[in-house]
Structure 1
Amino acid sequence: MPVYSMTGYATAHGPADEPTPDRPAPLGPTALLGVEMRAVNGRFLDLTLRLAEELRAAEPALRERVAAHVRRGKVELRAWVERRSDAGVRAPSQAELQQLLRVQEQVQAWLPQARALSVADVLQLVQRAPAPGGDYTAALLSLTERVLQDFNAARAREGQRLAAMLRERLHGLRTLAAQAEPLVPQAVAQQRERFVQRFTEAVGLTPVDASVLQERALAEATAYAVRIDVAEELSRLDSHLSEIDALLERGGEVGKRLDFLIQELHREANTLGSKATSLELTRIALDMKVLIEQMREQVQNLE
């Protein structure tokens, strides 16, 4: 399943008059429907419909269709009717012809000298009258379905691009973690040795039993070594990276879960930086924060 971006755009036009048994297809399009969808990121589905007055009857069905395809994002759907000044001739339906015949018979009953309607008269009257069954819901829903397919295809392409960027950042974080891992025991040993050395120097300045000070120094050095050991943070960071990779591979609605994992990555990188006792570990922690922040910005656009 692809990963979808919450950012997308699609538009399409189609005939407003769909043929039905009571309404034959026009000889030329009398009107065109237009549908446009655009979306940006959002925490939930925020759907705004901007419909022409004659299309408002379709609003509940439109909301249902869009909600079936889109889960999150600030979505705007516009639909309108374009009247054609060069519209072709609409073929009259059987109901219209029967109605005109009845009217003609009534007129001739009162005015026997009135002439019968010609073909030109019939077509002129039909074109002036609104099309029977002027409900554009079926045509609008059909066109909207087409727009939704294009819209989701655009979101999938953008989601694929974002996923590729995230995987690139994941690789960078794993590289930094691999650089930090061998530095951890080395930093712990150096700090432990430095701690013991300082306590040893203090022995000559303090009239206390040296064995007592040495035992205290070892205990303090061990406790300090535990505090600056970042092996646990690196292990959790690797676990979060693997989970992000699995989510991107699975696809679907992963945005909220990824957002949570990015927060966890940031927490581990912060802890790594606060525990760093060397310039190299500090640099690695800062580089991790830069990559994580870049990932956070991209994740905000995923559904």
Structure 2
Amino acid sequence: MIRSMTGFASSTGTMTPHSWAWELRAVNGKGLDLRLRVPDWIDGLEVALRKQLGQAAARGNVTLSLRLARDEQAGTLRVNETHLSGVLEAMAMIEARAMEEGVSLAPSTSSDIVALRGVLEQSAAEDDIAPLRVALLEEARALIADFNGMREGEGAALQSVLYEQLDEIARLTQEADALGDARSAAMAGTLKRALAKVADAAEGIDPDRIAQELALIAVKSDVTEEIDRLKAHVDAARDLIGQGGAVGRKLDFLMQEFNREANTLCAKAQNSDLTRCGLALKAVIDQMREQVQNVE
């Protein structure tokens, strides 16, 4: 089965205290261009993701982004020992001075002290990066599987369209073959009449030379090779599509060959019906080439 180069997938996940959101998308490209936007503080994550994507895609401009957030509320409360010591020393100094001045102070409670700014603070939980990296890479595999599933679905639709276009090219090639045979018979009669007129109008012209020139004209206008090549290209394209996998480059090259033969056919036509058939071939080949641009 062939695959489309375009695709999209997204997912979200959590592992306390982290949460994240993935987004993976791809558009057409001549080769494989991987663009990753992931946190650089997770050692080995980008390298591993590049390896996964390189095994999953052969062509296209692929962009993977990971937005990672951390829940700061997941930390623990702790007493700032340094700040608490300063507060207690200050309180002792104040109480001693108040006693000297004969001022009576209400006793302080622990809740009063804890409520003071800076005494109690929230500490960030220590992150163990290894389990987070494992979880992210595992989810990335599922994300890439969804991504390829979408591309395979589009590839199936592409394959159906390409087969229909190949059938039309084969039909028009067969029609051109029949028109070429009919044209050859008509051209033979026209050439014979032209030869008779030349022979009657001019004396001393070597009949063999005239025959050679007429034979050369006939060879130059013969479209048998173009018809045979078009038929061979149709068979080759069907084999490639049936083979599946990353055959987009080969199909693209084959479309250039299709177009070259159709152009030559039109140039040699010298017949309105054959020219019409050749132009119809060029139109279908151009439509097929546009579809092939989407094949991986």
Task: Return the TM-score normalized by structure 1.
Answer: 0.77
**Contact between 1:192 and 1:221, CA under 8 Å: does it hold in 2?**
no
Q: Check if 1:45 corresponds to 2:32.
A: yes
Output aligned runs, 1:269-284, within 5 Å.
269-284=262-277
In structure 1, how many angstroms separate the alpha carbons of the residues matched to 2:43 and 2:23?
15
SS of corresponding position for 1:182: helix
SS of corresponding position for 1:38: strand
**Contact between 2:3 and 2:152, CA under 8 Å: does it hold in 1?**
yes
Q: Give the stretch that moved more between structures: 131-140 or 176-185.
A: 131-140
Instruction: Give the superposition deviation at 1:160.
Output: 1.1
In structure 2, how many angstroms separate the alpha carbons of the residues matched to 1:30 and 1:128?
13
**Contact between 2:42 and 2:129, CA under 8 Å: does it hold in 1?**
no
Instruction: Give the superposition deviation at 1:198.
Output: 1.7
- The answer for the alignment partner of 1:22 in structure 2 is none
Q: Check if 1:61 corresponds to 2:60.
A: no
Q: 1:36 aligns with which of 23, 27, 33?
A: 23
Output aligned runs, 1:1-303, within 5 Å.
2-15=1-14, 17=15, 29-55=16-42, 57-83=44-70, 128-135=123-130, 136-208=132-204, 212-213=206-207, 215-303=208-296
Shift in alpha-carbon separation, 1:207–1:53, aligned structure 2, 3 A: closer
- The answer for the alignment partner of 2:107 in structure 1 is none
Higher Rg of the two aligned structures:
2
**Contact between 1:35 and 1:143, CA under 8 Å: does it hold in 2?**
no
Instruction: Give the superposition deviation at 1:208.
Output: 2.8
Paired letter, 1:255: G
Paired letter, 2:223: V
Shift in alpha-carbon separation, 1:127–1:81, aligned structure 2, 3 A: farther
Q: How many residues align?
A: 258
Instruction: Give the superposition deviation at 1:54.
Output: 4.3
1:79-115 deviation digits (Å, cap 9, x = unpaired): 0113458x7x79x9xxxxxxx9xx9xxx9xxxxxxx9
In structure 1, how many angstroms separate the alpha carbons of the residues matched to 2:41 and 2:135?
13
In structure 2, how many angstroms separate the alpha carbons of the residues matched to 1:127 and 1:197?
105
In structure 1, how many angstroms separate the alpha carbons of the residues matched to 2:213 and 2:283?
34
Identity over aligned pairs, percent: 36
SS of corresponding position for 1:9: strand
SS of corresponding position for 2:24: strand
Shift in alpha-carbon separation, 1:127–1:228, aligned structure 2, 3 A: farther
Shift in alpha-carbon separation, 1:219–1:37, aligned structure 2, 3 A: same
Shift in alpha-carbon separation, 1:127–1:3, aligned structure 2, 3 A: farther
Instruction: Give the superposition deviation at 1:49.
Output: 0.7
Instruction: Give the superposition deviation at 1:56.
Output: 6.2
CA RMSD across the alignment: 2.7
In structure 2, how many angstroms separate the alpha carbons of the residues matched to 1:281 and 1:207?
36
**Contact between 1:192 and 1:222, CA under 8 Å: does it hold in 2?**
no
Task: Return the TM-score normalized by structure 2.
Answer: 0.79
1:141-198 deviation digits (Å, cap 9, x = unpaired): 0111111000000111111111111111101101101111112122122222212212
Unpaired runs of 5+ in structure 1? 18-28, 93-99, 108-114, 116-124
Unpaired runs of 5+ in structure 2? 86-109, 111-119
